[in-house]
Copies of this chain bind each other. A is one copy, B any other.
Amino acid sequence: MKGYLWTGGDPGSHKPVAPPEHGRLAPWEAIAVEAVGNVIEFWGFKRNQGRVWGLLYLRGEPLTAGEIERELDLSKGGVSMLLRDLEHWGVIQRVRVPQDTVWRYAAETDLVRMVTHVVEEREAAFVTRIRADLSEARRLAEATGGLPPERLRRLERMAVLAEHVERALRLFIKTSRLDVGGVLGAFRDGALARSKGER
């Protein structure tokens, strides 16, 4: 997460900002792919994870690692790792086309799963940890004698605060999943399912 804040703003610019030279991507594809990359980076992932997913999603039919490599101008190794991550999160699928020997990758329709999933991960790995830390601090503080009671109260408030932020976060995850999930549900049918079976 970078300088998205107020710092050094120049909000009016937004040039179409020609995306870096893409292999043979159509301009509109390039823009869209880049947009996904930005969103994804914004959410705390690697931008290239987003770009790969975006490409796969736009194309509909499964691509090989080599194709991705060419289209997005990435290195072999890089693509391999990115695909591993995405597959691990369940946002792409590795498919073997019948008479063919290479692996192909297809986008799962719910990018949302990616976001929610990892937001959940982060939460699990983190919020609980924070809680532990705060209660530890509280334990220590209580053990220490002669502290002004207001200071303890401040600590407690802090813990309460943390819990409420956590609650809000959970809520967010839940709503975003339902909301967006519902919309996608209406979509997931056509081209993707077909393209998987064809060829």
Contacts of A179 in B (CB 8 A): 164, 167-168, 171
Rounded to whole angstroms, the CA-CA distance of A6 and B120 in the bound complex is 11
A144 contacts B175, CB within 8 Å?
no
Out of B34, B58, B137, B138, which one reaches A133, CB within 8 Å? B34
Task: Kindly name the residue among A60, A132, A133, A141 whose own CB sees the greatest number of chain B CB atoms within 10 A.
Answer: A133
- Chain-B contact segment, one of A64-72, A94-102, A123-131: A123-131
Q: A interface, by DSSP: helix, strand, loop or mixed?
A: helix
- Cβ of A197 within 8 Å of any chain B Cβ, yes or no, is no
**Interfacial chain B residues near A126, Cβ < 8 Å:** 4, 38-39, 42
A115 B165 Cβ-Cβ under 8 A: yes
Interface size class of A (residues with CB under 8 A): 35 or more
Known: A28-B155, A35-B134, A153-B191. 20 other contacts (CB 8 A): A1-B44, A4-B125, A9-B125, A27-B140, A28-B137, A31-B134, A34-B133, A35-B130, A35-B133, A36-B158, A57-B158, A58-B155, A60-B151, A153-B190, A154-B191, A160-B187, A165-B180, A169-B176, A171-B175, A172-B175
